[in-house]
Amino acid sequence: MNRIKAFGAFWYDFVVGDDWHVAALIVAGLALTAILVHAAGVNAWWLLPLVAFAALGWSLHRATARK
Amino acid sequence: MNALPLILTVFVACAVEAIEALTIVLAAGITREWKSTFQGMAVALVVLAVITAAVGPAITYLPLTALRLVIGALLLIFGLQWLRKAVLRATGYKALHDEASAYLREVTAAETAAKESRRGVSDWYAFTLAFKGVLLEGLEVVFIVITFGANQKNIGAAVIGAAAAIVVVTVTGIAVRAPLTKVPENWMKFAVGIMLTSFGTFWGAEGAGVAWPGNDAALLVLVPVVGLVAAGYVFWLNSRKAAPSSPARESEAVPS
């Protein structure tokens, strides 16, 4: 059980890293982009870069404002 | 896309990983025993080869759109992690990665560990140290090679970039017989973070159904824009740090 936990923890740390909020925002950004493109017919190429920059900024703010 | 940017991006990313693996291998080999160190390296390389052989071809069977969506997302998340650490290091919120101090830490730990023979390996500590170092850094190399190569349908070019990086770092390491402390590793990581984030954004959005203005040429705009935004964050954090009433002054130690 411990080995499975360690294996899962390794992959979580490898992919998601220090701030899971970034990963969650990127997944949400991709989902929203897909919805805009396929359901609303909007070529939302600008959305993912904006989400990525906002996620990075928010994560940096959280990391540096933490005591 | 031309294969050259792909090869160069993979080369720089893999060189960073190879430098970190070299530091660990040198610490194990010089302070403990080269034979067990090489055994650990060899077993790690076999494990990496098996993972690459299993995952690499399987991933290329996925439809390109699904591949770009999944790999773009992973690459973007991975790239933002690198960029976040690079910005924190550039602004002093996180200690700079220093191969000399990493080497000293490994050497100190290796010198105090007891020598134990296990499973036909004369020095188990040197074996496991080399195995873990090469496997963990190698997994990042495999991840970069597979994601970049599969997305561009050019695994060969990605492998060339990675192999060249490993050869250059290994040969240089053998020549100087010391960790490569003179390499501007933190700036290389900053550059790799920018590239991973740009490619991840490009492929992820394409996978979600977006048509980029200018197609592949959009990357020529995206890469400098990501670089400018990252530089902007460095400027922002530095100016916040300089402000006397800033609460950020108290948070110098950010967990890695």
Tokens 């996925």 appear where? B62
> CA-to-CA distance for B95 and B256, rounded, in angstroms?
9
Give me B52's structure tokens: 């690459």
How sure is the predictor about B248, in pLDDT bands with cuts at 50, 70 and 90?
very low
Q: Could you tell me if residue A10 is inside a domain?
A: no
- Please say whether the dihedral angle defined by the alpha carbons of residues B89, B92, B98 and B101, taken in this order, is positive or negative: negative
Q: Could you tell me if residue A8 is inside a domain?
A: no
Q: Could you tell me if residue A54 is inside a domain?
A: yes
Q: Could you tell me if residue A22 is inside a domain?
A: yes
pLDDT digits (tens, 9 = 90+) for A31-61: 999 999 999 889 999 999 999 999 999 999 9
pLDDT of the residue at B1: 58
Say yes or no for a CB contact (<8 Å) between A67 and B247: yes
Residue whose C-alpha is closest to residue B29's, from B127, B165, B116 = B127
For A39, which residue in chain B has the nearest alpha carbon? B209
Say yes or no for a CB contact (<8 Å) between B248 and A64: yes
Smallest CA–CA distance, residue A37 to chain B, in Å, is 6
Domain boundaries, position A28: 17-65
> CA-to-CA distance for B17 and B180, rounded, in angstroms?
12
Question: A39 touching B, CB under 8 A?
Answer: no
Report whether B212 contacts B202 (CB < 8 A): yes
Q: Could you tell me if residue A37 is inside a domain?
A: yes
Percent with pLDDT over 90 in chain B: 16
Give me B90's structure tokens: 């550039």
Q: Could you tell me if residue A1 is inside a domain?
A: no
Number of domains in chain A: 1
Residue whose C-alpha is closest to residue B231's, from A56, A65, A51 = A56
Q: Which residues on B lie below 8 Å from A53 (Cβ)?
A: 229
